[in-house]
Amino acid sequence: MNIITLYACLKTYGPETNGKPEGEMRASRVEIWLKGLVAAGISGAAGGVMTGLAAAGIDPGHFNLQAGMGATVRIGAAAALINAVIGVAAYLQKSPLPGDEGKT
């Protein structure tokens, strides 16, 4: 493969085209924003689940995966919800809803 062929491949399928050929439609700004919003929520919820599991290490008599399963699931779900809300709020602070570029 020569350098010109390599350059043509990178230009066609490079990062600026999102891995798609140039003729295909790219994701809109709102679609990218929504994906980021969902990713922030999932990331926060995952951290909350880990917090719930860490509670078993802090108080194994009350939070465990056998007799205290209900309490462990409740604290994990609560922490996941709270962390997801915090993650979404932080994302919204850094990336507010994209506006229309053409409107004045």
Give per-residue pLDDT as tens, 26-76: 678 888 889 999 999 999 899 988 988 888 889 888 888 888 788 888 998
63: exposed, middle or buried (C-beta count within 10 Å: 0-12, 13-18, 19+)? buried
| pLDDT band at residue 79 under the 50/70/90 scheme | very high
3-state secondary structure of 68: coil
What is the reported pLDDT for 1? 43
Give Cα 28 to chain centroid, integer Å.
18
What whole-number percentage of the chain has pLDDT above 90?
25
3-state secondary structure of 102: coil
Q: Is 50 left (phi over 0), alpha (psi -120 to 50) or beta?
A: alpha
